[in-house]
Structure 1
Amino acid sequence: MYKSLPEFKYMTFDVVGTLIDFEGGLKDCLAGIAAEAGVTIDGEEALSLYRTARYSKDADLFPDDLVRVYLEIAPKLGLPTERKYGERLRDSAGNWRAFGDSAEALARLAKDYRLVAMTNARRWAFDFFAKELGDPFYAAFTADDTGTEKPDPAFFQKVFDFIGSEGNSKDDVLHVAQSQYHDIGISRKLGLTNCWIERRHAQEGYGGTIEPAEFTEPDYHFTSMAGLADAVAVARS
């Protein structure tokens, strides 16, 4: 039996896609480029092309890799192929917005838990994301800090080592994420209790996130961060 919500000391969070609306950010930037070029693009098609291009063997760290990704998908979307537009897509990460419930939910959760960010983004981008979220994190681990990306178990081990240095263990952690591929499946294999935030619950498919080989039934399941924060409040009342 997994732990009840009040029993955890830490909550670890995927950031991009769980707390930050990266799909909306990508689509907005691409739509802006398209409008300037006098063309119209389908946002879901763009996400599908992005997903295929992003998860290639020659991928760079995120979001720097968006320059390469843009140059790969632009011809398929009828967009201009100059590098400056790829750099514009990369730099747009600094303006991506949080989901409407993210900052408030994190502020509520921070009263009872140590919040730890675990993001495949580079530190420069995470600094923007953290500010957008109200700087709620007790600690943060980025691709620059770990030298790898989730779902690599080595990423999680860095966090386990940190928590261990504070005299605690992964049993004290609830891992919160929207990506079945990057987070939910591997967290289960590593023995973490997990919480799936199903951001695309009203949409079909996996959007900009790679589809997992198999679906992992989460320990906790909400369609928003507000749902998690509300459940914590009820459990602690």
Structure 2
Amino acid sequence: MDLTKFQALSFDCYGTLIDWEAGIAAVLSPWAHEQGLSLSPEELLLTYGDHEAAVEASTPSALYPEVLATAFRRTGDVLGVPVSDDWARRLGSSVPDWPAFPDSADALARLAARYKLIILSNVHRAGFAGSNRHLRGEFAAIITAEDVGAYKPAENHFRALDKTLGELGVDRSGLLHVAQSLFHDHVPAKREGLPSVWINRRSDRPGWGATPQPSGDFSYDLEFASMGEFADAVERAF
């Protein structure tokens, strides 16, 4: 792939730029300890992941804090331990506290010298604003689930993205999508005919973590273990 031919990059945020698994586990783990559950953070994330995707699909207009709280309650039901309103609110309000991956801010700054950057995220506006205090990103556009009334892998984000590209004067052939989640991003990227880069943040761990197993056909053109490696490849290309 010729990385110099693109004018814009669209990014998933949570899992790609922000370590959402660490953020979710920071709430689930102390809750499990309080309840006397002997489950590792990875086991908790595996139990939680499918519930979040199911809530997003069934209530597409719900804001992300509500999605998090409802998914947490369903996780507790499966584990046989009810989740209190206090714990549910704690997870729902935790998004701004989720840490950025150590390489994200620097990689975004380097990539911004070459491309227009667009956020395409399953989150609410206030949540991303909190996250961007960690990322310090200069984005040409920010498209959230709150803006489009749905959650990826639904098509709503991508229809909004098409409109945004027109407003930015970027041809669709000049866009490259960059994401970690095969389920949320690379399945719809293939459906939409978009070239994509897989930031495989779990390359050193087996399993899917908090992300559901992809439920459709997916593809990607390049794979990197981190945003830093991707930014290095871009600089070498230019």
How does the TM-score come out when normalised to structure 2?
0.91
Distance change (3 Å), C-alpha of 1:172 and 1:97: same
Identical amino acids, percent of aligned pairs: 36
C-alpha contact 2:104 2:135 (8 A) present in aligned 1? yes
Distance change (3 Å), C-alpha of 1:226 and 1:153: same
List runs of 5+ in structure 1 lacking aligned partners: none
User: Residues 1-237 of structure 1 correspond to what in structure 2 (within 5 A)?
Assistant: 3-37=1-35, 39-56=37-54, 58-59=58-59, 60-77=62-79, 81-214=83-216, 216-236=218-238
Name the SS for the 1:174 alignment partner. Answer: strand
Distance 1:113 1:130 in 2: 18
List runs of 5+ in structure 2 lacking aligned partners: none
The CA deviation at 1:79 is: 5.5
C-alpha contact 1:180 1:215 (8 A) present in aligned 2? no
Query: Which amino acid in 1 is paired with 2:9?
Result: M
C-alpha contact 2:109 2:137 (8 A) present in aligned 1? no
How does the TM-score come out when normalised to structure 1?
0.91
C-alpha contact 1:160 1:169 (8 A) present in aligned 2? no
Distance change (3 Å), C-alpha of 1:17 and 1:188: same
Aligned length, in residue pairs: 234
C-alpha contact 1:53 1:73 (8 A) present in aligned 2? yes
Distance 1:116 1:167 in 2: 13
Instruction: Provide, for residues 198-232 of structure 1, a one-character-per-residue CA deviation record: whole Å limited to 9, x for no partner.
Output: 11111111111111135633111111001100000
The CA deviation at 1:8 is: 0.7
Distance change (3 Å), C-alpha of 1:151 and 1:80: closer
Greater CA drift, 57-66 or 145-154: 57-66
Distance 1:34 1:157 in 2: 40
Distance 1:161 1:75 in 2: 41
Distance 1:49 1:137 in 2: 34
Greater CA drift, 11-20 or 187-196: 187-196
Distance 2:83 2:111 in 1: 44
Q: CA RMSD in A?
A: 1.8
Name the SS for the 2:43 alignment partner. Answer: helix
The CA deviation at 1:37 is: 4.9
The CA deviation at 1:19 is: 0.6
The CA deviation at 1:25 is: 0.7
Distance 2:228 2:141 in 1: 21
Name the SS for the 2:66 alignment partner. Answer: coil
C-alpha contact 2:201 2:226 (8 A) present in aligned 1? yes
The CA deviation at 1:137 is: 1.5
Distance 1:46 1:100 in 2: 24
Distance 1:39 1:213 in 2: 30
Query: Which amino acid in 2 is paired with 1:201?
Result: S
Distance 1:80 1:188 in 2: 39
Instruction: Provide, for residues 3-32 of structure 1, a one-character-per-residue CA deviation record: whole Å limited to 9, x for no partner.
Output: 511111100000011111000111111223
Name the SS for the 1:175 alignment partner. Answer: strand
